[in-house]
Amino acid sequence: MSKVGLIYGSDGGMTEDVCKRLVNILGEDNVEMIEVCDSSADQISSFDNLILASSTWGSGDLQSDWEDFEDTLDEIDFSGKTVALLGLGDQDGYGDTFAEAISLLHDKVKAANIIGQTSTEGYDYEESNAVVDDMFLGLVIDEDNQDDLTDDRLAAWADQIKGDLGL
């Protein structure tokens, strides 16, 4: 079994914390957690299974390190890879662009087998490009308004994706 690469960007530490909690659920021996600013196209290409995590900033933008790395994603052949997306957002403060960072990542990795879509039930937002066919493109976490639901959402999502990630 090869490790899953969990590539994340975090400005304020919230995304990093959520990723660490996910790694604890999936098992530290199973996941290599790498901050996107410390990664490379070659390193990401070395993983067959990936989790990409970003918070959404401003009006639906990627976290700043992901923005800097975004063009590098075009150098990676995602066909044959399995990718799950994890996004953080604020549904009250940014309800019109809620968790849209994962839609930007999705556009870059769409050649992959994308797993881990989740229900929009239980969220209260106006609009999001991260929703397709009434499902989020990955797991969406709102630590600003629903932090009490994060651990349960992470555990359920881990159960959902671990088989597809070879765990």
pLDDT of the chain, 167 residues: tens digit per residue: 689 999 999 998 999 999 999 999 999 999 999 999 999 999 999 999 999 999 999 889 999 999 999 999 999 999 999 999 999 999 999 999 999 999 999 999 999 999 999 999 999 999 999 999 999 999 999 999 999 999 999 999 999 999 999 99
In one-letter notation, the amino acid at residue 29 is D
Residue 114 within any structural domain of the chain: yes
Per the structure, how many domains does the chain have?
1
Beta bridge partners of 114: 83
Beta-strand pair 61-62/49-57: antiparallel
Give the pLDDT confidence score for residue 1 in this predicted structure: 62
Domain containing 145: what range?
4-161
Residue 129 within any structural domain of the chain: yes
Give the pLDDT confidence score for residue 2 in this predicted structure: 84
Residue 166 within any structural domain of the chain: no
Tracing tokens 């990795």 back to the chain, one arrives at 109
Distance CA 32, CA 87 (A): 18
Distance CA 23, CA 25 (A): 5
Residue 139 within any structural domain of the chain: yes
Give the pLDDT confidence score for residue 58 in this predicted structure: 87
Q: What is the CATH number of the domain that holds 76?
A: 3.40.50.360
Residue 41 within any structural domain of the chain: yes
